[in-house]
Amino acid sequence: MDSRRRLQFGSSANPATDGGALAAKGVVVVSFNYRLGIFGFYAHPDLDTEAPSGNYGLQDQLMALRWVKANIAGFGGDPDNVTLFGESAGAMAVGILMASPLAHGLFHKAIGQSGAFWDGKHGPLQGFEEARARGLAFARQQGNGSIAALRSMPADRLNAAAPWSFRTSPVVTAFSPSIDHHVVPDVPARRFLRGEQMHIPLLAGWNAAEEVPFAPQSLPDQSAKAFVAAAAEMFGKERIADFLKVYPAATDVEAKASAAALNGDTVVGEQCWQWLRLHRREGRAPVYGYHFSYTSRYTPIASHVTDIPFVFGSLTPQQVIGSTTPPAEEDRALAQTMMSYWVNFAAHGDPNGSGLPPWPAYDENDVVQILGTKIKAHRNPQAARFRFLDSFRQDGILPMRWREVP
């Protein structure tokens, strides 16, 4: 699964996720589409009388996985050795499905790139009542308010009535995954905390500059004073001294850098780190973590999604950061290394292999594989920041009051 742009738009036809280069390394690559936005994640009490509503996109993914299990042998694949992998919202879906009882037995290894639990700056994913209240409010906004009336609307008009952009968090402003007590029985992070997830090998990580496409969601950063005030509102005045130790703001320039770092951490990074930690604590399956920090003329900043062309070996233009510079030999070399890691993990549950820099399993030392201009194992460079954010989780859940943070 690719990012599907926060579960709102996109398709598997994206040239960046062409599976040809991966398939050439000996794996069978299956990419599938699923319902998005209002069509994939609309919840409403009247729909619940037909079947549990709210997570149709996730149910599509489960159906695709059942198809793979039933049919992949005919394409040379092994139905008992399926690796589910995705990036951004795709990685969120992988984490959610690992915590879903309905997914047990449908895949045997998981890879998550820049996503984990669909939680972050605005707290956990929607609760059951919250999702249905949002669905009722939307129906009333359309006039009639009934499911029959919504179904009579043209699809493009219905989709246009529920817009979303990168300026806001889809957790609070879009139709997105919710606790439906069917596919998603509880907050995914809490399921992992209790050891209720699928105990399968996991490879997951995040990029050094995840915040780039999400810049509009940052706390105010026009000055150090504005940033510190917003941070005090979010984290509490009693914690501001601890906050400033990891997100310093002695000057306006420093505050702007810290605001960007905090944005990347809350939108993506910290939950990826939680995924590694919570899955490892059970000790029932191997876990491997990474930090993608690679830059070059082709990829001048390790932004969100810039890892995708390397994982697929497609090396398409890095449009999210406005780069049209073609890849050079060092970019092609990294793509070959990353593809080999991913294929080895899919085949054996271990990314290591002949000729590759050693990648140690993730453990209590918080060592991750740095995928940069040099590839090496190193202590998590964002550990102090993540530990601060982790201190706000209660029973695995981030504060609901963060819903009100601008």
Taking Cα atoms as reference points, which of 164, 254, 174, 261 lies closest to residue 219?
261
Q: How many helices (H) and strands (E) does the chain have?
A: 18, 6
Catalytic status, residue 210: yes
Q: Dihedral angle at the C-alpha atoms of 65, 368, 197, 401, nearest 10 degrees?
A: -110
Considering the candidates 3, 88, 178, 258, report the single residue annotated as catalytic: 88
Residue 310: which H helix or E strand, with range?
A: helix 308-311
Residue with token string 């399956």: 285
Q: Please state, in angstroms and rounded to a whole number, the distance separating the CA atoms of residues 28 and 24.
A: 9
Helical axes 252-264 vs 224-235, angle rounded to 10°:
40
b/e string for 374-392 if b means 16 or more Cβ within 10 A?
ebebeebebeebbebbeeb
Query: What backbone torsions phi and psi does residue 287 show, to the nearest 5 degrees?
Result: -130, 135
Catalytic status, residue 88: yes
Query: What backbone torsions phi and psi does residue 60 show, to the nearest 5 degrees?
Result: -60, -40
Taking Cα atoms as reference points, which of 374, 166, 193, 369 lies closest to residue 281?
193
Interacting residues of 114 by C-beta distance below 8 A, sequence separation 6+:
87, 88, 91, 205, 206, 207, 210, 268, 272, 304, 305, 307
Helical axes 270-282 vs 383-390, angle rounded to 10°:
80
Residue with token string 């049209």: 324
Considering the candidates 210, 218, 258, 279, report the single residue annotated as catalytic: 210
Q: Three-state DSSP class for 206?
A: strand
Catalytic status, residue 304: yes
Q: What six digits make up the tokens of 46? A: 């009247």
Considering the candidates 108, 122, 279, 304, report the single residue annotated as catalytic: 304
β-strands 202-207, 83-87: how paired?
A: unpaired
Handedness of CA 122, 294, 343, 200 (dihedral sign): negative
Residues with catalytic annotation?
Answer: 88, 210, 304
